[in-house]
Amino acid sequence: MTDKFAQDVLKGLTAKNKHLSSKYFYDDNGSRIFQEIMNMPEYYLTDAEFEILSMQSKQIVEALQFSQPFNIIELGAGDGLKTFKFLEYLVNNNIHFYYVPIDISQEAVDLLTSRLKERLPGINVRPQIGDYFEILKANKKSDYPSLLLFLGSNIGNYKEDKAEELLRLFNANMKVGDKLLVGFDLKKNPITIHNAYYDKHGITKRFNLNLLLRINRELDADFKIDDFDFYCHYNPITGNVKSYIVSLKKQIVEIKAIDKTIDFDYNELIWTELSKKYSLDEIRNLALSSKFKPSSIFLDCKHYFVDSLWEK
């Protein structure tokens, strides 16, 4: 990981417009800060999707029209909290299924599995660590239909062409009749979105600056965190929230592991993250362009978020 990380940092910080990928936010400390973000009242996404999965489990199962048993494969399961209510509904209604949480963190998956077994003793969990596509490819041979879950607006962190590419890859690794439930954050009052990302507690700022601390630690760099700030901007027309780290002065940073010094101008930016918001029409078009048939949508009561069900 560190090699790829070093290569990406080198490429991103020597580009004309500096950038770093948000996928590198999630070291242990970054994952903890992300938990803090999800607990902020301003970050409405977590509650909205939790509400959908708690209140509409029955409707989701009905929309699947699956024979039993079936597989539920969760891509990037994390702590599995949002999925818990859905799984609980299935167990309590004696629905026969296998739950396959996939994550890159062994620790996260172990914790999730033991917690689930404790809280839902009847559940059949088959956790997997590693590459989504290897695991999906193997699952394509399963005799049972599969529901893939890609929740939490993770799709919003991909540029539109990359999102389509990823969804097409999911599609290529599914059987005809398999379904995909994707979580999208919807366009809404721009102030609501602004407050979720440019939060007044400074937690999202810490989340971004943690990436510089990670580069200091893993690549032996000397970023001085106090000389950098955070800025983010929502464009209600495109639906893009773009996050940046801002250099507060003209400065030079040394990154020993890649044998580079990086010059920063006063107010120079590093683009760190895209968090894209969609309209329902855009979601439908994305389903079609990635070769899925959109079949049902599940909205929270405020219409802030949607879990959209697609069929291969």
Residue among 36 and 88 whose Cβ is closer to ligand AVI:
36
Residue among 12 and 152 whose Cβ is closer to ligand AVI:
152
Residue 152 near ligand AVI by CB under 6 A: yes
Residue among 91 and 151 whose Cβ is closer to ligand AVI:
151
Least Å distance between CB 207 and ligand AVI?
Answer: 6
232 bridge partner residues:
243
Site stretch for ligand AVI (CB under 6 A), options 86-94, 101-109, 146-154, 280-288: 146-154
> What DSSP string runs through 188-222?
--HHHHHHHHS-TTSHHHHHHHHHHHHHHHHHTB-
Residue 157 near ligand AVI by CB under 6 A: yes
Considering only CA atoms, give the Rg of the chain: 20
Residue 37 near ligand AVI by CB under 6 A: yes
Q: Which long-range contacts (CB under 8 A, 24 or more apart) does 129-133 make?
A: 129/102, 129/103, 129/104, 129/105, 130/102, 130/104, 132/75, 132/102, 132/170, 133/169, 133/173
Closest CA to 153 of 52, 237, 289: 52
Residue among 8 and 42 whose Cβ is closer to ligand AVI:
42
Indicate which single residue of 49, 268, 273, 307 sits in contact with ligand AVI (rule: CB under 6 A).
Answer: 273
The alpha carbon dihedral of 133, 311, 286, 181 has a sign of: negative
Count of residues engaged in binding ligand AVI, rule: CB under 6 A = 11
Residue 286 structure tokens? 């994305």
Residue 154 near ligand AVI by CB under 6 A: yes
253 bridge partner residues:
262
Site stretch for ligand AVI (CB under 6 A), options 52-60, 127-135, 152-160, 254-262: 152-160
* Interface pattern 41-70 for ligand AVI (x via CB under 6 A): ----x-------------------------
Task: Work out the burial of residue 111: count CB atoms within 10 Å of its CB; fewer than 13 is exposed, 13-18 middle, 19 or more buried.
Answer: middle
List b or e across 24-56, with b for residues whose CB sees 16 or more CB atoms inside 10 angstroms. Answer: bbbbeebbebbeebbebebbbbbbbbbbbbeeb
Residue 80 near ligand AVI by CB under 6 A: no
Indicate which single residue of 46, 275, 290, 308 sits in contact with ligand AVI (rule: CB under 6 A).
Answer: 275
User: How many angstroms separate the CA atoms of 185 and 208, rounded?
Assistant: 20
Least Å distance between CB 307 and ligand AVI?
Answer: 14
CB-CB contact of 195 with 241 (8 Å): no
Residue 139 near ligand AVI by CB under 6 A: no
Residue 44 structure tokens? 């409405």
Least Å distance between CB 133 and ligand AVI?
Answer: 20
* Interface pattern 192-231 for ligand AVI (x via CB under 6 A): -----x------x---------------------------
Residues 229-258 that bind ligand AVI (CB under 6 A): none
User: How many angstroms separate the CA atoms of 180 and 145, rounded?
Assistant: 11
How does DSSP classify residue 259?
A: T
Residue 156 near ligand AVI by CB under 6 A: yes
Q: Nearest residue to ligand AVI, using CB?
A: 275
For ligand AVI, the binding residues (CB under 6 A) are: 37, 45, 152-154, 156-157, 197, 204, 273, 275
